[in-house]
Homo-oligomer: A and B are copies of this chain.
Amino acid sequence: MDPTIESLTRSLRAFAAERDWEQFHSPKNLACALSVEAAELLEHFQWLTEEQSRQLPPERLAAVGHEAADVLLYLLQLADRLGIDLAEAAREKIEINARRYPASLVRGSSRKATER
């Protein structure tokens, strides 16, 4: 397993154990929490133009960084609970996407036309 992912996962396990929070951390609940955190991240962008979203002021950027961290932390806990090797799954998914969206076919066109 990747050293960073492993070390963060170990910290999160200890964190939950010290608080006796494993009982709340069913995969279902962690999937809820992950979705909630992803939406908190999105909230920062909902009224911005795309252009504005590329030029966040420092305070907003720091807040977005914390929300992004929250998403990662719940994702790591969910993967840990389910025994999913995230780095490996991510590598696989990049390969799947490469076959699904050949550059020669989709270049420059938004995926909206080709997806689903």
Contact = CB atoms under 8 A, between A and B. Distances in A.
B69 A53 contact: no
Copies in the complex: 4
Contact of A8 (B40, B64, B87): B87
Contact of A93 (B40, B47, B69, B97): B69
Contact of A36 (B34, B43, B51, B70): B43
Contact of A94 (B11, B46, B89, B101): B11
Given A4-B4, A71-B38, A46 B65 contact: no
Interface of A: 2-5, 8, 11-12, 15, 18-21, 23-24, 26-29, 31-54, 56, 61, 64-66, 68-73, 75-76, 78-79, 81-84, 86-87, 89-94, 96-98, 101, 103, 106-108, 110-112
